[in-house]
Amino acid sequence: MNYLKNKLGFLGVDNKFNIKHKVVIVPFGLEKTVSYGGGTKNGPKEIIKASHQVELYDEELNCEPYKKIGIKTLKPFKINKNINKALSQISLINKKILDKKLFSMTLGGEHSITPGCIKPFVEKYKNLCLLHFDAHADLRQSYNGEKFSHASAIRRCMDYKNVSLISFGIRNISASEIPFLKKNSKRIKIFWSKDKNKWNLNSFKKLIKNKNVYLTFDVDGLDSSIMPATGTPEPGGLFWDETLNILKIASKNSNIVGADINELAPIKGFNSYNFIVAKLAYKILSYKFLPKLL
């Protein structure tokens, strides 16, 4: 695999720092099926650029997590223009990473990447739980005639019979998705955003206990007041501290095997939104590899 130099990759650490890496950051700015605001193809490079401003020391964990993890970033590469071939492309990349016993974090791009991202994990693990942060359920069979649309990303993941789903922050669902949701109620648990004040996170802890988990984070799961830089921003979403709390519970009680973060559509001159996503990525990796410090 071809990696960027440390100082050019995620977090931009000094090239003199050398540790056997456990994590591979995969920039995959696929943008094929956006239906409102565009720009997700620029998400990965802006996240990596913003990550160079993230403080490496974590006051919560009382250390510099990157020194205990080791993170490499793939050099940018050409993404296939055909969406089916692009999904096969990311599947193959993640399989190679998984075969090397490394942790893959894919930076999208639109949410349609996730069914491709998880394929090698579905093949490796007998059962896989998808931990999904999003404003939208993404359970449509198709959208605008495209079954691999960003609006169908989670539905395509559920095509795999060994995948179960826990979603947080959902506050936008179409009538056409409800029958599928009801039919698959034993496989799907949604923590609706409208019920935030009533969420029982102890039940979430039990749901996720000892499971192999793939984490997919659509940044529009965050409230639009802190994350307007996305194609379909929605009010009523997750805020920073409550998001971290959910991630901590998952990290301490399950085995997070891979992750993707998607749907950042950078807004020129507003780097704070890119920074939030970069810090979120660092937090996810820190919690995953250092859960005993929480």
Q: Is the pTM of this model over 0.85?
A: yes
**1 within some domain:** no
**62 within some domain:** yes
Residues facing 106 on adjacent strands: 26, 260
Question: Tens digits of per-residue pLDDT, 209-224?
Answer: 999 999 999 999 999 9
Q: What is the mean pLDDT of the chain?
A: 94
**214 within some domain:** yes
- Looking at residue 62, which CATH number applies to its domain? 3.40.800.10
**269 within some domain:** yes
The alpha carbon of 52 is separated from its chain's Cα centroid by a whole number of angstroms, namely 20
In order of 107, 127, 133, 284, the CA distances from 89 in angstroms are 14, 23, 24, 24
Number of domains making up the chain: 1
**246 within some domain:** yes
Task: Name which of 59, 119, 109, 69 is nearest 260 in CA terms.
Answer: 109
The residue-averaged pLDDT of 47-75 equals: 97
Identity at 198, one-letter amino acid code = K
Domain span at 185: 6-293
The alpha carbon of 99 is separated from its chain's Cα centroid by a whole number of angstroms, namely 20
**225 within some domain:** yes
**117 within some domain:** yes
Question: Tens digits of per-residue pLDDT, 245-277?
Answer: 999 999 999 999 999 999 999 999 999 999 999
**52 within some domain:** yes
Query: How deeply is 127 buried, as exposed, middle or buried, from its count of CB atoms within 10 A (0-12, 13-18, 19+)?
Result: exposed
